[in-house]
Amino acid sequence: MTVANVIFPAFTAPYVSYFLFPVAALAAILGEVLVFKLRCSRLSWKRVINTTLYANLISWIAGVILGAVLPSGLAPQVVGSADRPATIITRGPNFELLMWSGFGVAFCLSILIEYQVWKRFRKEEPLPGLFRTTVLAHITSYLLLIGIALMYIKLHWW
């Protein structure tokens, strides 16, 4: 039996999780859309969906780039026999700590970036309480993302 071992830098875990848990990613985006629509009811659904998707795309790209330059948490490991050693890259001793820290960094980074995107899109008519709405949207989306991802793992859906 062959087992694939996908390795990614620790700080990119929040951005990779969208691919590993697509249902959770969809729920997180929908959670943001609903919070923005409830808090900014005068905006059309189309405007809220488009702005949310665009803001998340910008935030995701910035996070992947930043995650690639932060400590990876990866370490080389020698495998194979004594006469035919090989080196592979695997999770280092601090990988989990860095990975979970990555969710905190991603949370703060996405709030700051997506707030700026919403602010620029609404420059002509500012939304009251925009920063608070952005924070609420991200609390909702991260709870959904992490909760569904944990259900995936616990129920072996993945």
What are the tokens at 2?
A: 């062959």
Is the pLDDT confidence value at 20 over 90?
no
Tell how far CA 150 is from the center of its chain.
14
Within 10 angstroms of residue 100's Cβ, the number of other Cβ atoms is 12
6: confidence class by pLDDT, cuts 50, 70, 90: low
Q: Position 127: which residue type?
A: L
Q: Position 115: which residue type?
A: Y
Q: pLDDT tens digits for 93-149? A: 888 888 888 888 889 999 999 999 999 987 777 788 999 999 999 999 999 988 887
Q: Which of 9-18, 44-53, 98-107 has the highest mean pLDDT?
A: 44-53
Backbone torsions φ then ψ of 65, nearest 5 degrees: -65, -45
pTM: 0.79
Q: pLDDT tens digits for 66-81? A: 888 888 888 888 888 8
The residue behind tokens 């249902």 is: 23
Query: CA end-to-end span of the chain, whole Å?
Result: 18
85: confidence class by pLDDT, cuts 50, 70, 90: confident
Alpha carbon distance 62, 55 (integer Å): 11
Is the pLDDT confidence value at 22 over 90?
no
